[in-house]
Amino acid sequence: SKKYRIAVIPGDGIGVEVMPEGLRALDAASRRFGIELEYQHIDWASCDYYLEHGKMMPDDWKAQIGGADAILFGAVGWPEKVPDHISLWGSLLKFRREFDQYINLRPARLFEGVPSPLAGRKAGDIDFMIVRENTEGEYSSVGGIMFEGTEREFVLQESVFTRHGTERVLKFAFDLAQQREKKITVATKSNGIGISMPWWDARAAEVAALYPDVKWDKQHIDILCARFVLQPDRFDVVVATNLFGDILSDLGPACTGTIGLAPSGNLNPDRKFPSLFEPVHGSAPDIAGRNIANPIAMIWSAAMMLDFLGNGQGVEREAHDAMLAAVQAALKEGPLTGDLGGKAGTTEVGQAIARRI
């Protein structure tokens, strides 16, 4: 039978609350489909760990989890304890970069039972994939401050795009489009950001030429965001830089009702390093500790993990499908958490989904 080692990192805030429900669903699915999962529970990569140790992770973090088959991640961040840029650059963003998880794959799908905030949209109307570059671009650590504390003070922040990094995310996205509806939208802002974005457009045109059967267009990020609201049904695959992908993958799921459902895979498609699976929603300290967070994004992320481990095939794919079916049934029949108009707690929703699996 298949056996995988999973590093489990709950993190902060509601990450700690949704993780047990992710594991509960995984346990049910792995039992049913004969997959053996060995969990390595990690208690670092949290703001509490930082307050105690002055760093987010132990120095040997890479040795500790680098051998895992995948990482299941809750959420990191609690700005009242540690500034976000310190907690995130010291954990999640480090994983993405050092494990070369250069694809961040994020579905946006409107399910039955979930009311869309958009007027007149029903289940099936919205169903697209956002492919986000995940290691470079606008999220760079290059830059600095000059004339600090004076009137002349200014700060520089470099965006860095490599040919290597840009081509591989575009190719991944065009490959994906080829397996789906053979159409793709490339997010850009070349009218305003005049050096890097025209260059990005040129890379897109080059890669597009390798896929003559895929219909593509490019759209500036401002109007693209507007169209997510006005015409969400016209998208199938959207590929974007790190920052634009970040924005689109909160906005897309918001259009499908709640960001409490949206999962994501931070993928190292080369499989040299473990990939990381996490809900899009983040740690939400404002609602933490009250058992009201929606566990579905976590459960769906765990399902994505199995599917990636099985290469989209085999018992892993079956387990993924069963988990997603259980989620869809729960959305239709309840119980639901408050963000979806229900009254159930995190645990109750998690248990109901695990039972269905």
Ligand X SMILES: CC(C)[C@H](C(=O)O)[C@@H](O)C(=O)O
> Residue 220 Cβ, how far from ligand X at the closest point, in Å?
7
Contact flag: residue 141 with ligand X (CB under 6 A): no
Q: Tokens standing for 142?
A: 């290059």
- Strands in 221-262 per DSSP E: 237-240
Q: Dihedral sign for Cα 304, 309, 311, 312, please.
A: negative
Number of residues that bind its own copies (CB under 8 A): 69
Residue that has been written with the tokens 């990939």 in this structure: 275
Q: Which is nearer to its own copies, 107 or 350 (CB)?
A: 107
Contact flag: residue 195 with ligand X (CB under 6 A): no
Please check whether residue 132 is in contact with residue 186, taking contact to mean a CB–CB distance below 8 angstroms. no
Contact flag: residue 66 with ligand X (CB under 6 A): no
What type of residue is 30?
S
Contact flag: residue 325 with its own copies (CB under 8 A): no
Contact flag: residue 206 with ligand X (CB under 6 A): no
Q: What is the number of other CB atoms lying within 10 angstroms of the CB of residue 249?
A: 25
Binding mask 120-159 for its own copies (x = CB under 8 A): x-----------------xx-xxxxx----xxxxxxxxxx
In angstroms, how far apart are the furthest CA atoms of the chain?
66
Contact flag: residue 230 with its own copies (CB under 8 A): yes
Instruction: Give the list of residues 6+ apart from residue 339 with CB closer than 8 angstroms, or none.
Output: 258, 260, 294
Identify residues 224-253 at the interface with ligand X (CB under 6 A).
246
Q: Tokens standing for 227?
A: 């169209």
Residues that bind its own copies (CB under 8 A): 77, 83-85, 87-89, 93, 115-120, 138-139, 141-145, 150-164, 189-199, 220-223, 225-227, 229-230, 242-243, 246-247, 249-251, 253-255, 258-259, 282
Residues that bind ligand X (CB under 6 A): 77, 88, 191-192, 222, 246, 280, 282
